[in-house]
Amino acid sequence: MYNIFKMNSGIRVVVENINYVNSVSVGLWVKNGSRNENISENGISHFVEHMFFKGTKKRSAFNIAECIEEVGGQINAFTGKESTCFYVKALDSHLDLALDVISDMLFNSKFLPEDINKEKSVITEEINMNEDSPEDVLFDVYAKAAWGDDSLSYPILGTIESVKSFSRQQIVEYIGTHYIPENCVISICGKVDLNNIKNLMEKYFGNWRSSSIKPVVYSKPEFLRNHFFKKKSIEQLHLNLGIPGIEMGHDDLYPALVLNNILGGGASSILFQKIREEKSLCYSIYSYISSFNNTGVINIYTGLNPKYVYDAISIIMEEIYNFIKKGIDEERLRKTKEQIKGNYILGLESTTSRMFSNGKSVLFLNKVRTPEEIMNKIDRIDSDKLKEVMDKTFGKGVINSAFVGENIDTDMVENLLDEYRNPFHSNHSLNI
């Protein structure tokens, strides 16, 4: 059972009551991430997330964690490209405590200068750790290749230089303009007394007001044709190939999920079977979908010995081409829809995952799509719809790419990718 309401302050609340569990998950969702920043403040959204855990007027940093953990609960947060979420999971009897802690962090954090300086060191180490992960580096390099100077390409962590530049005044002002009720959603899922939930919301968030409303407006970034390479002394070459995708909230996401699942979504997928199992060129290969406001992308990732990269790219291109030309037979479509529905339902078996799904949906779409609605949308996918979505995604071919590693002839790779930029609209097979 879902209950969505808007408080007088402007904050939206979504509650899903599940009577048969004994837990509750609470999340404060903020429509703010690295995409909302300018270049000089890149990383400040993630920095703010950290600072909310550094102590309030009535709780130290230790007390924030202790008061939740001593009742067996969990408290955490994350920052993405377009949103930030602070969340607590605990027994349903501790809902009041969860809301108290989250609201205390939101309204009473002190942002002491000494804590800010300490956290600069912590996040600098987090950035260094990110640099030691080829997959994380690849993610940032690819974003730059796909969206150029648009803020969607900014790294979530920021840079060491930008992080070190943040002042207390800058942090407080950023929170004042971005952390406002109109940009926020409280998502609650679990065993909840619906008769008391509005009273709890008034108790902890009823007095929240903003001095000015700053609605979030998203750009419509161009999907650029770039092939970027970052040299890194590692054994494997990591690569990400970019294909036009589907924007957040669009119904074409469901047929795109079907297509992605068949091409590279698991161990039974075309790319896994061909490139790993048959050709033995890599250990890991998969495709995945990323959807944002006004844009989206389908990526193909693999990590492999640099000497195999040319063969791997050629085979990937050939398989995409065959995928488009042959289409999907009815039996494969039926099996894939069942697989996606199964994965989706299994993914909703925790109150936290349901809280995440509900909160993000209300934050960006102002509604919740029930599991029944989503299952029906998947069931209604047919061959005609798959072809339509295929044409606007995989049918466009690989537009951009990113590579991290060494021992690669970048000119040869770029020529190989550019050579097959438009074969997907031709009537002849790829000459591979």
pLDDT digit string, tens, across residues 191-213: 999 899 999 999 999 999 887 77
Q: Which of 1, 77, 84, 12 is nearest to 365 (CA)?
A: 12
| Distances from the Cα of 300 to the Cα of 210, 239, 272, 425, angstroms | 43, 8, 11, 20
In the prediction, which pLDDT does 422 show? 54
Longest CA span, the chain: 70
In sequence order, the β-bridge partners of residue 36 are none
Q: 258-278: b or e for each residue (b if 16 or more CB lie within 10 Å)?
A: bbbbbbbbeeebbbbebbbee
User: 235-264, pLDDT tens digit by residue?
Assistant: 999 999 999 999 999 999 999 999 999 999
In the prediction, which pLDDT does 432 show? 33
Where do the domains of the chain lie, and which CATH numbers do they carry?
2-205 (3.30.830.10), 227-425 (3.30.830.10)
Residue 367: Cβ-neighbour burial (10 angstroms; 0-12, 13-18, 19+):
middle
In the prediction, which pLDDT does 217 show? 87
Look up residue 36 and give its DSSP letter. Answer: G
Q: Which residues are catalytic?
A: 49
Of how many residues is the chain composed?
Answer: 432
| Contact present, 2 and 70 (Cβ < 8 Å) | no
In the prediction, which pLDDT does 429 show? 38
In the prediction, which pLDDT does 421 show? 61
Give dist(CA 50, CA 41) in Å, integer: 15
Task: Report residue 354 CA to chain centroid gap.
Answer: 16
In the prediction, which pLDDT does 317 show? 93
Write the DSSP string, 302-338: EEE-GGGHHHHHHHHHHHHHHHHHH---HHHHHHHHH
In the prediction, which pLDDT does 420 show? 65
* Residues of the chain below pLDDT 70: 420-432
309-326 and 410-419 helices cross at what angle (nearest 10)? 10
In the prediction, which pLDDT does 425 show? 45
Task: Report residue 171 CA to chain centroid gap.
Answer: 24
Q: How far apart are the first and last CA of the chain?
A: 54
Return the SS3 of 181. helix
Q: Is the pTM of this model over 0.85?
A: yes
Strand order in the sheet with 282-292: 227-231, 400-405, 237-244, 295-304, 282-292
Give dist(CA 50, CA 45) in Å, integer: 9
